Amino acid sequence: MFDLREVMMPHMMNSLKAADVGRVRHRRLLLPIGLAIVVALAVSYVSGLWVWYRKGGLNLAYWHAPEPFDRLTRQLVNPTGTNWMEMLYVGIGVAIMSGLIFMRYQFTWWRLHPLGYAMTTSWAPYTVWFSFFWGWLLKYAIMRGLGFKGYRTWRPFFLGMVVGDALMAGVWVIVGLFTKVPYQIMPG
């Protein structure tokens, strides 16, 4: 699909960061990541064509078929000048990010978490940011109050909550296939 809200690079950066933590060489990830991209493109192309021809592109949600082309048409029919306010915000973002990166390299205690990159450019985490914050807050409280041993004790519980939620979402999607009542996993 042409979802302009998703960007692949933050997910790639997080994968490479996870590889660093797991001491996996980046070269070993090249083939699996490349293969995953090729398979994802092929599957999305075939499934997209199947859905568009079966349901009709204009019968889908507003952004599936017309959104990227409507955006281009609006720009071509009604050209606008440079939006200096947007340029200012981009400049502020660049300055803040540059400052954060500078601090990260100058001070060992400065933590610039890679999750921040994913949170700012991708629609999915943007809609569930409070869940990420809540998880971080609980982890912080447990580490502060109970230490690493308490964290190790509570970790299976929280992982079970995440896996259980994902499994139940899958169950409700399957139930929705039979009852014709759709289940929306992500908000928005």
pLDDT tens digits, 110-143 = 777 655 665 666 676 777 778 888 888 999 999 9
Q: Considering only CA atoms, which of 124, 98, 137, 127 is closest in space to residue 11?
A: 124
Whether 159 is covered by a domain: the verdict is yes
Whether 81 is covered by a domain: the verdict is no
Number of folded domains that form the chain:
1
Residues in contact with 129: Cβ distance below 8 Å, sequence separation at least 6, in sequence order: 119
pTM of the model: 0.49
| Number of neighbours of residue 142 by Cβ within 10 angstroms | 18
Whether 141 is covered by a domain: the verdict is yes
pLDDT at 96: 84
Whether 117 is covered by a domain: the verdict is no
Selection from 67-76, 82-91, 99-108 with the highest mean pLDDT: 82-91
Range(s) of the domain holding residue 187: 128-188
Instruction: Provide the CA 10 distance to its chain's centre, in angstroms.
Output: 8
Q: Over the chain, what is the mean pLDDT?
A: 83
Q: How far apart are CA 106 and CA 104, in angstroms?
A: 6
Whether 162 is covered by a domain: the verdict is yes
pLDDT at 132: 80
Whether 123 is covered by a domain: the verdict is no
Buried b (16+ CB within 10 A) or exposed e, 15-49: beeeeeeeeeeeeebeeeeeeeeeeeeeeeeeeee
Contacts by 107-111 with C-beta closer than 8 Å and gap 24+? none
Whether 166 is covered by a domain: the verdict is yes
